Structure 1
């Protein structure tokens, strides 16, 4: 199970917007947005800022609050 890092899917639902709408407004592929919404991949900070602007929310609302739990493998998978 993937760790939840962002709340993009939740905020889209709260704002009654869709992945398709976000993809069109960001000029990104639908599949990319889908990966962000399932926390399979994460947007970079610039993109996260753009998402917050489009959804008219504070960027912090797009992130899961609290201290993340990471495994040792999260630090060693190709980041040497």
Structure 2
């Protein structure tokens, strides 16, 4: 569970740093806000493909989202 919390905090942290909303991220990923919010709030883990998409959109290395 600790690892999931880190994922959540890392996605949320990067969104805040860039001033990006979860709504924007959801649209860019082609997912519902509900699913994106579940990733950010640690109710659900994104799959590897989604992690790569999020990293690409945030212009960071996927490694920065998986510690």
Interval containing the TM-score (normalised by the shorter chain): 0.7 to 0.9
Tell me which stretches of 4 or more aligned residues in structure 1 moved more than 4 Å.
none
Q: Which runs of 5+ in 2 are unaligned?
A: none
Shift of 1:43: 0.6
**Equivalent-residue separation in structure 2 for 1:20 and 1:37 (angstroms):** 11
Query: Could you tell me the TM-score, scaled by structure 2's length?
Result: 0.85
Q: Which runs of 5+ in 1 are unaligned?
A: 66-80
CA-based RMSD: 1.2
Q: Does 1:35 align with 2:38?
A: yes
Richer in helix (by share):
2
- Number of equivalent positions: 63
Q: Does 1:17 align with 2:34?
A: no
**Equivalent-residue separation in structure 1 for 2:54 and 2:19 (angstroms):** 14
- Find the structure with the greater CA-based Rg: 1
